[in-house]
Structure 1
Amino acid sequence: MTVDDVIAAAGLAFRYPGAAEPTLKGVDLRIARGDFTAVIGGNGSGKTTLCKAFNGLIPHFWSGEFSGEVTVDGVDTLDASVAALSHRVGYVYQDFGNQLVRPSVREDVAFGPVNFGLADHRERSESAMRLLGIDHLARKYVWELSGGQQHLTALAGVLAMDPAVIVVDEPVAELDPARAEETYRMLKRVNKERGTTIVVIEHHAEFIARYARSVVLMSAGTVRWHLPVREALGRGEELAEHGIPAPQIIAATARLIPETDVPLTVAEAAQGIREAGLEPGAPVPEPVTQPPGPVIARLSGVSHGYRDVHSEVSTVLDDVDLALCEGERIALVGSNGAGKSTLLRLLTGLNVPRKGTVEVDGIDTRSVKPARLADRVCYLYQHPEQMFLNDSVRQEIAMFPTQRRRPDAESIVEDVLDRLRLTEFADRDGRTLSGGQQRRTTLGIGLAMAPALLLLDEPTASLDTATRNDVIAMLAALAERIRCVVVATHDMQLVAEWATRVLVLGKARVLADTTPAGLFGDAELCERVNLVPPQISVLGRELGMHPPPLSVDAFTAAFAPALAGGR
């Protein structure tokens, strides 16, 4: 380890107890002090395990087979406890809500410095909150915060320890696009103003392009390479092989001007296209969709909310009227706390509205128990592991048709396993699978239920890009078996590529009922509800395309006349 290295791993290997293969295999890696490094790779490549070796959770907490050496800020992690290493390495976990252990924001941020007896604990916590712009929330209870505010609170608690390294696992997995940008801006600010080394585990290449300075590619438990960000993102084919397709602006410019430098921002891409003398022609029209069929679910005058710690009702939905129809692929979008998950739970009957009525297939949800509605509506949770009740994938998928005594239950299960490429995992416990495999399993549970209405909460969160694209394709394929699908999501690319209808929630109401092109063409609406359109839509808008393109194919098709006529 050199003076300029803050992290050095040499020959690092680790096998979890009972695992057939090591998760890490002879990892050699150096990260320079003050770097902003993104660790990428497909689900199951070893990213999180590698980063947990930096703060000593491996091997001090996960006591598997460990070999090799990891040195962080001059300390061998084998010679220091997890508590001692927390002064040098801060970690913001993917499930960051579990890190919040004190009632108020101020108390939670000060928790580490106070418990280590640091005399300047007040100054440390106040400074961390100020740097991240959450000092105005100091007196708030942590359960009153939005997801984005909770994430920044967890980060402030780490920052108050003034570590040399901060690791953030999936910084944007559960945040709306605007809050995701804010989180990355705060990380960049900490990196610049304090010189703190930032390591992020990330699947979103567009954030990597704008914020990281170097990229580590993990594959099958080893480091494939560690490169500067522009060089890393220029290896498009290799990244795609590992489930990380290039950002949309890189893919688009590579098709139009193959010899250009790799653009890291929309502005760079737009400049390169203009300098090449290319101008878009008429935009490709939106595909024609079939008119919606009969109403599957209806909300009439629905108002709902929850009591806060002061016993006051906080209204989440107010006098909402909606009809969801057969053949529709509906995306629910809006800021954290806009009411997306609440609306889904009302449709299942798990919650009943304080005012108004909810009907599914003509049945008032107040009149029957949720278990009876399960024949008509299926709700797939945001976290797949919450769906698993049995010892194997096959049993999970078989549970509903078997309990309902469907005569064709066995053939249904085999068909679902085959459709979702789960046959090889059929006898595995779902909780032992990768995130992408778990998500496919929950889709299998829903498909085997064959409901009229399928509801999904953030189905692509925390998935690598290749698995995420698989999920989009599988959702599209469900149309032949399920009459209406509703997805609550922060994934704007999913909205662009899959949805036929978009419901924008905000201020307890439906602010817009539109199409993907209508949403992304309305800059004022997007800004009002903290939505950031897909990169390719932003690039199209920058180049004067209206409506904005929804995919790379649609974007490049608009340049076909210019390319055919020569430059």
Structure 2
Amino acid sequence: MSRQEMSGRNTSGQNAARTTLCAAIEGFTFHGGSGPALRGVEIEITPGSLTAVLGGSGSGKSTLGRLLAAWLAGGRDGVLRGTLQLAAGGRQGEGCPLVFSGTGDDPRIDSAAWADHVGYVPQDAAAMLSAVRGTVEEELAFGLENRGTARSEMTRIVAETARRTGLTALLERDPATLSGGELRRLAIGCAIVTGPGVLILDEPLASLDPAGERTVMELVRDVRGRGAAVVVLSQHADGLTRQATHWLVLEDGAGTAAGSPDRLLAGSSLASSGVVVGGPPGLPAAGASSRPVAAAAPAAASGPAPAPGLPPALQLEGVSFGFDANDPGSPLLLKSINLEVRPGEIVAVTGPNGAGKSTLLRLFNGLLRPLRGNVRVTGKGIAGVPTGVVAERLGLLFQHPHDQLFERTVQREVIFGLERLFGQHASAKAAAALAEVGLDASGGVHPHELSGSGQRLLALATVLAREPAVLALDEPTVALDAHGLDRLTAAITAAAGRGAAVVLVTHDLAFARAHAHRTVELKDGALVGC
């Protein structure tokens, strides 16, 4: 489909062109795939609507979103059979269906022209960004610049978009310095800045604090009020997806149920899907997260608190940190932090986006070094100790799994470095860690072929296999469906049971309340609740 065939482009940032997007996917199979990633999926997206596509990890939600947004294309990326139809401008009958039969004669979509009408934010928000702009403001302006928007108009639209996404105070920041939640709001801003008629959001509430969740939920209402359609791809029946008028449930790439949220919640169609269900419908209360906790998760799954008097496995003494060590007058991100975590104890660290929670975890193992104060792991200070040596006692799960996955197969990923620790028992340790998170050690699956949930569980397995004295987990629940949450809970419980200290940074307040012995909040550079 050529750019000339697409009409109704809107870069005003005001009312979106009324756009209808329909798909009837008989089948889509990736090149080299052993079977279809999608089969028998039908969806109709109309102006002003909110549609939620729900399913567990690997159900095909992200694949469907990428096809609808032309980030995946039949022929180039796989074999597509079915139809796609994009009618922009709201004129009845506009936009003939594109028919795909899986042959060389199939239509070719101009993805740039398609993007004028369909905005898409992937689960990995960083993939949405250009990576060539030095500030948030420049990143927001990037799409407008490519469309030749007049500078005065561009300035106005960027300012309005920043306001709508809660980014006004961050416009001069380098995107590389943003927290996970701030980065997600920036990616959404980049998707809406040109006013597309359809907005597709993959796990839009992931990594967001309660204020960020409210911002995104209000933004979705605003976008719909301007005439655009919104599609949310999610593993959660949360406060956002419950506002949808229509749900489509996917399992193993197939549409297994469709209808209103009330009807599907009242039935049994979600029971085996992996969708996380729980919590009250509708908007969350002020200051509360809209995220439910897995209904199957038992209370106090972490077990009894460790006996008092045990020496701490992790200890922070007056730790302060700022990114500009050469400027004594520069503001500190962390100020005189004191924290003790005992063997067998699970501590959850909460706090707003940008508070420094991920930075705090990186101080635990020496990836970052404090300006003042001491960090002790199993009673020994880590000042001057190489990070690789500290990692034998403290395992860190990064917020973004791709930051720590680098091997060619799942098994090679987990066994890397284990021979030095466990010798001839390394293979058994790797297999046990993979089994603990529900992954198969056999075969040659590449880590990046796994779903988002699978990659996070694999990264967790690489940490568990080393049996460290301290586990530091950064947003471990992100991208996990109900089955993955059960695996995570069991792994954390087992680690604490063998005497490991566990610190998890999370915005999932329900998970923290259910599984941590205590919760502390990082706010304005200080830990509250220690």
TM-score bracket, shorter-length normalisation: 0.7 to 0.9
For normalisation by structure 2, the TM-score amounts to: 0.82
- Mean Cα deviation higher: 428-437 or 315-324: 428-437
Structure 1 residue matching 2:72: 3-state secondary structure: helix
* Worse-superposed segment, 157-166 or 141-150: 141-150
* Distance in 1, Cα, partners of 2:331 & 2:319: 14
- CA deviations on 1:494-525 (whole Å, 9 max, x unpaired) are 20121002121111111222xxxxxxxxxxxx
State the AA in 2 paired with 1:166: L
| Contact kept in structure 1, 2:436 and 2:487, CA below 8 Å | no
AA at the equivalent of 1:178: A
User: Matches of 1:341 and 1:60 in 2, distance apart?
Assistant: 39
Contact 2:239–2:282 (Cα < 8 Å) also in 1:
no
Query: 1:444 & 1:103 partners in 2: Cα distance?
Result: 35
Q: Determine helix, strand or coil for the equivalent of 1:408.
A: helix
Cross-structure match for 1:371: 388
The unaligned stretches of length 5 or more in structure 1 are 250-262, 268-283, 514-567
Q: How much does 1:186 deviate?
A: 1.2
Select which of 221, 224, 230 maps to 1:191.
224
1:58 corresponds to 2:102:
no
Conserved in 2, the CA contact under 8 Å of 1:104 and 1:138?
yes
What is the aligned partner in structure 2 of residue 564 from structure 1? none
Q: 1:226 to 1:18 in 2, by over 3 A?
A: same
Quick one: which amino acid aligns to residue 275 of structure 2? I
Is 1:387 matched with 2:387? no
1:84 aligns with 2:113: yes
What residue in structure 2 maps to residue 361 of structure 1?
Answer: 378
Query: Residue 171 of structure 1 aligns with which residue?
Result: 204
**Residue of structure 2 equivalent to 1:289:** 305
- The 3-state SS of whatever aligns with 2:430 is helix
Letter in 2 for 1:200: V
Alignment-mate amino acid for residue 114 of structure 1 = E
Contact 1:450 1:482 survives alignment (8 Å): no
Give the unaligned 5+ runs of structure 2.
1-17, 88-93, 99-106, 286-299
> For 2:199, what is the secondary structure of its paired residue?
strand
Whole-angstrom distance in 1 between the partners of 2:307 and 2:156: 61
Is 1:113 matched with 2:128? no
- Please list the CA deviations of residues 468-488 of structure 1 after superposition, one character each: whole Å capped at 9, or x if unmatched: 232112211222334211111
Which residue of structure 1 aligns with residue 27 of structure 2?
13
In structure 2, the residue matched to 1:277 is none
Distance 2:84 2:346 in 1: 48
Q: Is contact 1:304-1:353 (8 Å) kept? A: yes
Q: Secondary structure at the match of 2:502?
A: strand
Matches within 5 A, 1:443-458: 443-458=460-475
Q: Which residue is equivalent to 1:256?
A: none
Deviation by residue 1:227-258 (Cα, 9 ceiling, x = unmatched): 122223223x3212101243233xxxxxxxxx
Amino acid at match of 1:113: L
- Taking the aligned partners of 2:453 and 2:67, their CA distance within structure 1 comes to 23
**Secondary structure of 1:14's match?**
strand
The answer for the alignment partner of 2:235 in structure 1 is 203
* Gap change, CA 1:469 and 1:418, over 3 Å in 2: closer
Write out aligned runs for 1:256-267 (5 A): 264=282
Provide the C-alpha distance between the structure 2 equivalents of 1:310 and 1:82, rounded to a whole number of angstroms: 47
Matched residue, 1:217: 249
* Partner SS for 2:445: coil
Whole-angstrom distance in 1 between the partners of 2:419 and 2:482: 34
Q: Is the 8 A contact 1:240 1:246 kept in 2?
A: no
Aligned residue number for residue 68 of structure 1: 82
Q: Percent identity?
A: 31
Q: Which moved more, 1:413-422 or 1:40-49?
A: 413-422
Say if 1:105 and 1:312 are closer, same or farther in 2 by CA, change over 3 A. farther
Render the CA deviation track for 1:514-550: whole Å, top value 9, x for unaligned: xxxxxxxxxxxxxxxxxxxxxxxxxxxxxxxxxxxxx
1:308–1:145 distance in 2 versus 1, CA, 3 Å: farther
1:451 counterpart letter in structure 2: P
Separation in structure 2 between the aligned mates of residue 306 and residue 455 of structure 1, nearest angstrom: 21
Q: Alpha-carbon deviation of 1:84? A: 0.5
Measured against aligned partners, the alpha-carbon deviations of 1:322-360 in whole angstroms (never above 9, x if no partner) come to 222112111111111222212211111222211111111
Cα distance in 2 for partners of 1:85, 1:310 equals 48
Residues 132 and 365 (structure 1), Cα distance of their counterparts in 2 relative to 1, 3 Å cut: closer
Q: Deviations over 1:309-330 (max 9, x none)?
A: 9997441211112222112111
The letter for the 1-side match of 2:264 is: A
> Distance between the aligned counterparts of 1:398 and 1:79, measured in 2?
43
Q: Distance between the aligned counterparts of 1:333 and 1:133, measured in 2?
A: 20
Higher alpha-carbon deviation: 375-384 or 151-160: 151-160
Contact 1:332–1:503 at 8 Å: present in 2 too?
yes
Q: Which amino acid aligns with 2:486?
A: N
Summarize deviations over 1:157-185 as a string: whole Å, max 9, x none: 32232211011111111211221222111
Q: C-alpha separation between the residues in 2 aligned to 1:389 and 1:149?
A: 26
CA offset digits 1:399-456 (Å, max 9, x no partner) = 3331235343343334334444334556433332223333332332222211111111
For 1:96 and 1:303, locate their aligned partners in 2 and report how far apart those are by CA, in whole Å: 30
Structure 2 distance, partners of 1:310, 1:216, is 54
Which residue of 243, 262, 269 corresponds with 1:238? Answer: 269
The question of whether the paired residues in 1 share the 8 Å contact of 2:306 and 2:342 is answered with no
Alignment equivalent of 2:48, drawn from 34, 43, 47: 34
Higher relative helix content: 1
Alpha-carbon spacing, 1:171–1:308, altered in 2? closer, same or farther (3 Å): farther
SS in 2 for 1:306: coil
SS at match of 2:277: coil
Amino acid aligned to 1:435: G
Q: 1:14/1:370 Cα in 2 relative to 1: closer, same or farther (>3 Å)?
A: same
Q: Which amino acid aligns with 2:50?
A: F
**Bigger mean CA deviation after superposition, 71-80 or 36-45:** 71-80
User: Residues 111 and 312 from structure 1, CA distance in 2 versus in 1: closer, same or farther, beyond 3 angstroms?
Assistant: farther
CA contact (8 A) 1:29 1:223 kept: no
Structure-2 residue corresponding to 1:180: 213
Give the length in aligned residue pairs: 480
Equivalent of 2:507 in 490, 502, 520: 490
* Residue 326 to residue 508, structure 1, CA distance change in 2 (3 Å): same
Corresponding residue for residue 122 of structure 2? 93
Task: Please say which of residues 417-426 and 24-33 is displaced more in the overlay.
Answer: 417-426
CA contact 2:319–2:335 (8 Å) conserved in 1: yes
Shift of 1:33: 2.2
| Residue 329 (structure 1) aligns with | 346
Query: Retained in 1: the 8 A contact 2:318–2:373?
Result: yes
Task: Give the partner amino acid of 2:123.
Answer: Q
| Alpha-carbon distance, 1:211 to partner | 2.8
CA deviation after TM superposition for structure 1 residue 291, in Å: 2.3
Compared CA separation, residues 299 and 85, structure 1 to 2 (3 A): same
Amino acid at match of 1:227: G
Contact 1:455 1:486 in 2 (8 A): yes
Tell me how far apart the structure 2 counterparts of residues 352 and 248 of structure 1 sit (CA, whole Å).
40
In structure 1, what is the equivalent of residue 161 of structure 2? 128
Matched residues in 2 for 1:133 and 1:350: separation?
30
